[in-house]
Amino acid sequence: MLAGKRDGGNYTYMIENINWYPGHMKKTRELIEENLKMVDLVIEVVDARIPVSSRNPIIDQIVGNKQRIIILNKSDLSDPQENEKWKENFQKGGSIALTMNCMKGTGVNKLYKLLEDLQKQKDQDRVRKKPLRMMIVGVPNVGKSSLINRMTGKKSAKTGDRPGVTRGKQWLALKNGMQLLDTPGILWPKFEDPKAGLDLAFCGSIKDEILDTADLALELIKVLQEDYGSMLMERYKLDELSDDALTNMEAIAAKRGFILAGKRIDYERCARTILDEFRSGLIGNITLEKA
């Protein structure tokens, strides 16, 4: 069960019982390390709503100084102003950053143009011309498979709204002759800041089955009522917001008619609705981590 409280912007949560590092995650790390020398650059896909929490620090350690393109995916769901700030931050750190919606294909042409420019730069230093080789990495459910399918023009990788779909490594040929190595999503063994785990859970990068849905939605309400209260009120037609998240959750349930026999509130249905509507952008363009 996930439980906790938010006090003055600091999160304290009990998430110790979740196994963050199953065996296939360890294999993914080894796969990345073994194949890094074979690629010219790394494409790292992150969730634009949580640009820090959806970046695995282990990937930073492994990739090192290898040239990197950071894709801020799901940028249609996040705050446009924050998107620009995060792009600037990543670029200051030495990476190239692009905002995209990999599911719809928004930004793919910009990515291809960038890759073509990088190909020309590489060819200048080579006697023998070789197609650019890339590796794509990221935590589960950030949209790697959707990006791959857009880049290859076919369903080369499995996609889904649940984490953990990709299995093993796959070398894929792009339409322009470049080569792309796909890798499974990789989480890390332990979160130094438990907030990262919670943010990933909010966005669906951790399987809902191992969390308590009602507790998770309650924690999301705590965050939204502080930073995006007007959106919460507008979406659920609330007359006012309480400082108490549970009171707000019950008000949402009443507005939506999530009531069981005996006038009992259907917390589970309410929680699922709030999580689904946040993840699909129906509540609004929300960035949980500010630049």
Mean pLDDT value across residues 238-266: 96
Domain spanning 23-182: which CATH class is it, in words?
alpha beta
pLDDT at 153: 80
Amino acid at 239: D
pLDDT at 208: 75
E strands in the chain: 3-7, 10-14, 41-47, 68-73, 96-99, 133-137, 170-173, 179-182, 259-260, 264-265
Domain 3-15+191-279 CATH assignment equals 1.10.1580.10: yes
What tokens were used for 240? 């006012």
Mean pLDDT value across residues 83-102: 95
Determine contact, residues 221/214, Cβ cutoff 8 Å.
no
Determine contact, residues 221/194, Cβ cutoff 8 Å.
no
The mean-pLDDT minimum among 3-17, 106-120, 214-228, 249-263 falls in: 3-17
pLDDT at 188: 59
Strands 41-47 and 133-137: parallel
Given a cut of 60, whether residue 21 has pLDDT beyond it is no
Higher pLDDT, 6 or 229: 229
Mean pLDDT value across residues 134-144: 88
Confidence of residue 176 (pLDDT cuts 50, 70, 90): confident
**Where do you find CATH 1.10.1580.10 in the chain?**
3-15+191-279
pLDDT at 235: 98
**CB neighbour list of residue 202: distance below 8 Å, 6 or more residues apart:** 50, 216, 219, 220, 223, 275, 278, 279, 288
List the beta bridge partners of residue 44: 70, 137
CA distance 56 to 83: 19
Higher pLDDT, 182 or 168: 182
What integer best gives the mean pLDDT of the chain? 84
**Where do you find CATH 3.40.50.300 in the chain?**
23-182
Other C-beta atoms closer than 10 Å to the C-beta of 172 total 18
Given a cut of 60, whether residue 10 has pLDDT beyond it is no
Higher pLDDT, 56 or 118: 118
Given a cut of 70, whether residue 66 has pLDDT beyond it is yes
Distances, alpha carbon 146 to alpha carbons 142, 153, 159, in Å: 9, 10, 6
CA distance 217 to 209: 14
pLDDT at 128: 78
pLDDT tens-digit readout, 184-226:
777 655 666 778 888 988 998 877 777 789 999 999 999 999 9
Identify the helix (H) or strand (E) that includes residue 200.
Answer: helix 194-203
